[in-house]
Amino acid sequence: MMGWDIGGVNTKACRVPQTGEEDKATSLSKGFEIWRNPEKLPELLGEMARELGPVRAMAVTMTAELSDAFQTKSQGVGFILEALARAFGETEIWVLGTHGRFVELSKALLSPLDFAANNWVASCLYEAKKNPDCFVLDMGSTTTDIIPIRQGRLLNKGTDDTSRLAQGELVYTGALRSNPNTLVRQVPFDGRMVRVADELFCLMADVHLLAGKLEPEEYTCPTADGRGRSPEECHARLARLVCADRDIMSFDQALNLARYLYEKQLETISRAWHLVASRLKKPFDLPWCVAGQGSFVLRDLASRLEVPLATPLEQEVKALPARDVALLLAEAIKKEGLR
């Protein structure tokens, strides 16, 4: 089996044996900015597949359809699926729907929106086999997913990004690239509440680094001003949030500001979780399975809300959705004999 996770900036593939053994997975990730040379996608896919070796069937997840390369999500999903068909004409290809079922590539082309931004579904469905009752909270660089799982079933109400935002199941705030000015309209500075600038002057990575929550080597995204990642450079960027500089806002004041913004990010995620939780019975008893670069934020929130933690998703696996969708397909073929 081979699983794919085709993103806007990186394309990931993972090969697993048909028997479904996790520890025999081999994976591969290639930088490929889809908006630069979209027509080269089939070629890239072919290369990656050759590198990993031949397989009986493939499973697909994606997020690249949201790229500016495409005018609509439907167009993006169609483009990606056609690139796969072109690259692997002879191979059986299954696409995971946000409804949680596998659909053949040719049929998926008939309702492309059911297959947009579906990579969280793979990880959650796979997690549901290990923790049949839990919340999956996955905080990446810019977004946070909140998915309740009961008796092995995903209880998400949203399926596409917009309905997931409406339900609180997708929160557009993350550990690194998010702009702090989306969390607050005003921040405390020198005894007053000051409105923030609507510019990309600084990132949550600056906040977390100054607040002592993130190590410099975990600051893996580009900085907002192209300068370095030292605390002093984070200080200078954060001062810009209220149109100040390091002469006007001292290092200590920037620390205070970072800790305020850290609180605001926790509050934002907390509010969304409470909204999802308000649909469920005894949500405070469901353990949280936390994942992603922002799992330190999620662990702090779990502790504050006094909810238990579940065994975390395997962080060390690269290309997790690619691996999980391949393992899910292996199992589905074994159990249900797809096709």
List residues binding a copy of itself (CB under 8 A): 157, 167-168, 188-193, 252-253, 255-257, 259-260, 263, 267, 270-271, 274-279, 281-284, 304-305
Nearer to a copy of itself, 35 or 284 (CB): 284
The radius of gyration computed from the CA coordinates of the chain, to the nearest angstrom, equals 21
Nearer to a copy of itself, 85 or 243 (CB): 243
User: Any bridge partners for residue 120, and if so which?
Assistant: none
- Residue 251 CB contacts under 8 Å (≥ 6 apart), including other chains: 231, 232, 235
Nearer to a copy of itself, 186 or 311 (CB): 186
In the complex, the smallest distance separating the C-beta of residue 124 from a copy of itself, rounded to whole angstroms, is: 18
- Residue 73 CB contacts under 8 Å (≥ 6 apart), including other chains: 65, 66, 112, 113, 116, 117, 160
In the complex, the smallest distance separating the C-beta of residue 279 from a copy of itself, rounded to whole angstroms, is: 4
Is residue 100 within 8 Å of 154, Cβ to Cβ? yes
Q: How far is it, in rounded angstroms, from Cα 241 to Cα 251?
A: 14
In the complex, the smallest distance separating the C-beta of residue 154 from a copy of itself, rounded to whole angstroms, is: 15
Answer positive or negative: Cα dihedral of 224, 228, 231, 233. negative
In the complex, the smallest distance separating the C-beta of residue 157 from a copy of itself, rounded to whole angstroms, is: 7
Q: Which of 172, 88, 76 is nearest to 117 (CA)?
A: 76
In the complex, the smallest distance separating the C-beta of residue 230 from a copy of itself, rounded to whole angstroms, is: 20
Q: Which of 142, 148, 136 is nearest to 183 (CA)?
A: 142
Nearer to a copy of itself, 217 or 252 (CB): 252
Cα-to-chain-centroid distance, residue 32:
18
The residue with tokens 């946070």 is: 144
Nearer to a copy of itself, 260 or 296 (CB): 260
Nearer to a copy of itself, 172 or 284 (CB): 284
Nearer to a copy of itself, 167 or 223 (CB): 167
Q: How far is it, in rounded angstroms, from Cα 190 to Cα 154?
A: 47
In the complex, the smallest distance separating the C-beta of residue 187 from a copy of itself, rounded to whole angstroms, is: 8
In the complex, the smallest distance separating the C-beta of residue 224 from a copy of itself, rounded to whole angstroms, is: 23
